[in-house]
Amino acid sequence: MSPQERYGTQFGPDITFLGVPRCTWSDPSTYADADVVIMGAPFDGGTSHRPGTRFGPQYIRQTDYLPHDGSRPSLALRVDGLRDDLTVYDAGDVQMYSGDAERSVRDLQEAVYTVTANNAIPLILGGDHTIAWPDAAGVAQHLGQGRVSMIHFDAHADTGNIEFGSLIGHGQPMRRLIESGALRGDRFLQIGLRGYWPGPETLDWMAGQGMRSYEMTEIVARGLEECLTEAFSIATDDCDGVFLSVDIDVCDPGHAPGTGTPEPGGLTARQLLDSVRRIAYELPLVGIDVVEVSPPYDHADITSALANRVVLEALSGIARRRNGTPWDPRRPLLDR
């Protein structure tokens, strides 16, 4: 593969995530020192209902009232996960043509693989959840089939087989990942499922794969913290790294209205941010995606702002994990 020109962003002005420096994914020399490389995947051709996630990358990158100066010192963790304590680049978007899911998925996997192979953590901004297939498969392509576990926040299992006559879509990526051998079903941890999909047949398939899916009634009955701790121990058992996939619809529609298939009864924004922080701080993340933010259905940008913070909590957690100092959430802010 020869280096290409940087593509930039597919929609709107050519911006980067809160102003971090640019790089070109196909030219590793442009991010040789990177800890994390952010990429946009503005694809919404795979959604089964409300589209709009093609504008997810733009809005996740830009929705913040603070100066877009490439720096974000975390109050909670007392690190700057965007500049001082982590090296982060934004490679722009991988061109997605929503009318051609197959090509889009193929091109994205190549980009994710390239970044991983060059020792950076890929952080992909969706787009609909279709992209989780190339995202996690691209990471596994380098780290080894079955060597990466998955922590998957979502209202939906995304383990459908065929939808609208296609194997590719936002309801099926997890099935494709397991069926292809990229990820092991018994290292697949799902948090926040609820509602009325999928049906028994698919649930049986999931059980057969050894998946561990935490439906919301279990989470409420046992407590989110306990469920997470249990999930963490599975995720780190005989795997070399963890991929974190955050579908913003894991949150209640009151906290995240701007999404395609909102399912009432989800996590609060606070719960999601606290969970992502724990994961990034406690687990060896090797890839991340944040998906299903649909700005046309948002109000006052609250969903985009939440997704922006999910990214920052993940980066801050990674940074704090790397600097090696212990962290206690009970300590007063001004003592941390």
Please give the residues from 302 up to 321 whose contact with a copy of itself meets the rule CB under 8 A: 302, 305-306, 309, 312
d(C-alpha 276, C-alpha 232), whole Å: 12
Which residue in 271, 294, 286 sits closest to 321, CA to CA?
286
The span from the first CA to the last CA of the chain, in angstroms, equals 46
CB of 325 to a copy of itself, least distance (A): 15
40 vs 262, which CB is nearer to a copy of itself?
Answer: 262
Return the range that interacts with a copy of itself (CB under 8 A); candidates 29-37, 49-57, 235-243, 279-287. 49-57
Q: Which residue from 26, 130, 149, 245 is in contact with a copy of itself, where contact means CB under 8 A?
A: 130
Q: State which amino acid sits at residue 51.
A: P
d(C-alpha 126, C-alpha 116), whole Å: 18
Q: Which residue from 20, 112, 143, 273 is in contact with a copy of itself, where contact means CB under 8 A?
A: 273
270 vs 322, which CB is nearer to a copy of itself?
Answer: 270
Instruction: Work out whether 246 is an interface residue with a copy of itself (CB under 8 A).
Output: no
CB of 88 to a copy of itself, least distance (A): 14
How open is the CA angle 31-3-36, to the nearest 5 degrees? 25
d(C-alpha 176, C-alpha 174), whole Å: 5
Instruction: Work out whether 5 is an interface residue with a copy of itself (CB under 8 A).
Output: no
Q: Is 247 annotated for ligand binding?
A: yes
Q: Write the CB contacts of 204 (distance below 8 Å, at least 6 apart in sequence).
A: none
Instruction: Work out whether 172 is an interface residue with a copy of itself (CB under 8 A).
Output: no
Phi, psi torsion values for 120, nearest 5 degrees: -110, 155
286 vs 305, which CB is nearer to a copy of itself?
Answer: 305
116 vs 294, which CB is nearer to a copy of itself?
Answer: 294
Helix (H) or strand (E) holding 125, with range, is strand 121-126
Q: Which residue from 29, 33, 164, 326 is in contact with a copy of itself, where contact means CB under 8 A?
A: 164
Q: Which residue from 28, 46, 160, 317 is in contact with a copy of itself, where contact means CB under 8 A?
A: 46
Number of residues forming the site for a copy of itself (CB under 8 A): 105
Phi, psi torsion values for 58, nearest 5 degrees: -60, -45
Question: In angstroms, what CA-CA distances link 327 with 81, 317, 321?
Answer: 15, 10, 9
Q: Which residue from 3, 32, 100, 145 is in contact with a copy of itself, where contact means CB under 8 A?
A: 100
CB of 316 to a copy of itself, least distance (A): 8
Q: Is 129 annotated for ligand binding?
A: yes
